[in-house]
């Protein structure tokens, strides 16, 4: 059994498992920052690989954090998620995770009046319709991404003139559902704003920028993140998104990623599974997160 799972049943201290994956056994920076605050509150926290042999019933609470391979091991992860949630409370909850794992949720949010990047949603077994192709061809630059993905996995940019055919795109996506989106150039010129919510309330924000010549804002690809103070209008728009998405208010954590275009936020994603929360870039954020965890226990 993994060392982090070797609890002492005679101890009365409450225990929480912060879930990671085999590629990051010490967890992320945000998780390490929250550990001393949990300890001060009388909570023993362990960073545990979700796929390791572990008796999760010894924990009072399991919190998904840096399980950053979930999209590569979908069936296995979903099975673990559902089994574990039957024996110990889990956050965010399974219903929320299963809803959020497929980016087709953006279509639901668009129907609620939330502004997203112009998108064509393609199921693996369906053809892209002629009207949809006309829309896609009208875009100067296009991004294609899987419906279930993380860290820009299998995400490709194309110029309109070099966009592959529908059959070629399906082959690249190996028959899985995917999204074809208009590229928002403000990602390169202004950056992407992440609004972090803890226990349903706005906590702090960061501004993420891609490396020169790239479009991906993730650190893995040379992107950067810095503390950011949104304008009142930006916070108001983010709050409107959070209010429209029922899962946000019920969740321990959420990250709303958006780009400002013509003075209005364009929603890129609502992250409710394993987002980096940038707790080190928000004044008091690590302590707020610890307090929220203790409150949930």
Q: Could you tell me the CATH number of the domain that includes residue 164?
A: 3.30.1490
Q: Has residue 282 been placed in a domain?
A: no
Is the distance from CB of 117 to CB of 265 less than 8 angstroms? no
Residue 135 sits in which domain range?
A: 119-182
Residues 110 and 201 grouped into a single domain: yes
Over range 100-127, report the average pLDDT.
Answer: 93
Over range 175-182, report the average pLDDT.
Answer: 91
pLDDT above 70 covers what percent of the chain? 91
- Coil, helix or strand for 8? coil
Over range 176-202, report the average pLDDT.
Answer: 94
DSSP H stretches of helix in the chain: 29-40, 74-85, 94-100, 105-111, 130-137, 166-172, 186-189, 232-244, 246-250, 285-296
Structural domain count of the chain = 3
Q: Has residue 290 been placed in a domain?
A: no
Residues 59 and 140 grouped into a single domain: no
Q: Has residue 284 been placed in a domain?
A: no
Q: Has residue 291 been placed in a domain?
A: no
Whether the pLDDT of residue 12 is over 90: the answer is no
Q: Has residue 288 been placed in a domain?
A: no
Residues 256 and 110 grouped into a single domain: yes
- Coil, helix or strand for 145? strand
Residues 127 and 214 grouped into a single domain: no
Residues 96 and 135 grouped into a single domain: no
Residues 81 and 212 grouped into a single domain: no
Q: In this predicted structure, what is the pLDDT of residue 213?
A: 62
> Bridge-partner residues for 255, per DSSP?
196, 271
Residues 266 and 192 grouped into a single domain: yes
Kindly report the CATH number assigned to the domain that includes residue 54.
3.40.50
Burial of residue 295 (CB within 10 Å: 0-12, 13-18, 19+) is exposed
Q: Has residue 10 been placed in a domain?
A: yes
Is the distance from CB of 91 to CB of 65 less than 8 angstroms? no
Backbone angles phi, psi at 107, to 5 degrees: -65, -40
- List pLDDT tens digits, range 50-63: 999 999 999 999 99
Check: pTM over 0.75? Answer yes or no. Answer: yes
Residues 171 and 193 grouped into a single domain: no
Residues 148 and 259 grouped into a single domain: no
Kindly report the CATH number assigned to the domain that includes residue 202.
3.30.470.20
Minimum mean pLDDT range among 89-93, 161-165, 177-181, 270-274: 161-165
Residues 12 and 87 grouped into a single domain: yes
């Amino acid at each position: 059994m993994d060392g982090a799972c070797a609890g002492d049943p005679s101890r009365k201290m409450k225990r929480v498992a912060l879930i990671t994956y085999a590629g990051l056994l010490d967890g992320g920076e945000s998780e390490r920052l929250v550990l001393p605050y949990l300890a001060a509150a009388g909570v023993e926290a362990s960073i545990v690989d979700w796929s390791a042999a572990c008796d999760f019933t010894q924990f009072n609470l399991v919190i998904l954090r840096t399980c950053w391979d979930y999209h590569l091991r979908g069936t296995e992860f979903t099975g673990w998620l559902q089994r574990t949630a039957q024996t110990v409370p889990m956050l965010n909850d399974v219903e929320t995770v299963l809803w959020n794992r497929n980016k087709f949720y953006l279509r639901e949010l668009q129907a609620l009046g939330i502004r997203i990047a112009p998108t064509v949603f393609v199921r693996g077994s369906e053809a892209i319709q002629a009207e949809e192709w006309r829309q896609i061809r009208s875009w100067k630059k296009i991004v294609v991404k899987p419906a279930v993905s993380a860290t820009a996995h299998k995400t490709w940019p194309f110029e309109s003139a070099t966009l592959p055919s529908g059959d070629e795109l399906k082959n690249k996506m190996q028959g899985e559902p995917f999204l074809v989106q208009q590229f928002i150039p403000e990602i390169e010129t202004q950056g992407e704003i992440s609004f972090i919510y803890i226990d349903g309330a706005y906590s702090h924000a960061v501004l993420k920028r891609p490396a020169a010549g790239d479009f991906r804002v993730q650190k893995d690809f040379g992107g950067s993140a810095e503390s950011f103070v949104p304008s009142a209008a930006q916070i108001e728009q983010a709050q409107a998104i959070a209010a429209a998405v029922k899962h946000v208010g019920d969740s321990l954590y959420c990250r709303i990623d958006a780009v400002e275009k013509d003075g209005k936020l364009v929603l890129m994603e609502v992250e409710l599974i394993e987002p980096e929360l940038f707790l080190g870039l928000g004044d008091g954020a690590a302590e707020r997160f610890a307090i929220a965890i203790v409150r949930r226990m």
